[in-house]
Amino acid sequence: MRILILWGALAGVVIGLVFLGVEGFALYRDQSEVIYDGAYVPLRGVEMTRSYSTTLTLDHAGSGWWNALPVPWWSYPVIGGAAGALASAAAGWRGLRITGRG
């Protein structure tokens, strides 16, 4: 049953990383040009992409794209791995077994 849980956790981590990539891609998808008119005075009137303009309005704008995510960036693979391990454990307790070829 340990192998089943490990494989489930690994699959969950991979799925979590995929969701992290999709979330990061969606954040920077809009590349249309806008004129910045926000609170940061030195950049007012500068032409930039809409996605960059929206990151400047965030609390931690200078720290990177991961701060714009609704949950911390590292939680996607952690949540995926935990969910995979729990699902595998539940399947193992219900009778699912992984056997070798020999």
Q: Give the span between the Cα atoms of 80 and 94, in whole angstroms.
A: 21
Rounded Cα gap, residues 66 and 24, in angstroms: 8
pLDDT of the residue at 69: 59
pLDDT at 14: 92
Q: Could you list the pLDDT tens digit for every one of the 102 residues in the chain?
A: 778 888 889 999 999 888 888 877 776 666 788 888 877 788 889 998 877 777 776 555 445 555 555 677 778 889 899 999 999 988 888 888 777 665
Delimit the domains of the chain by residue range.
2-93
Cα angle 60, 76, 99; round to 5: 165
The two tokens of residue 16 are 């979590």
Beta strands in the chain (DSSP E): 33-35, 47-49
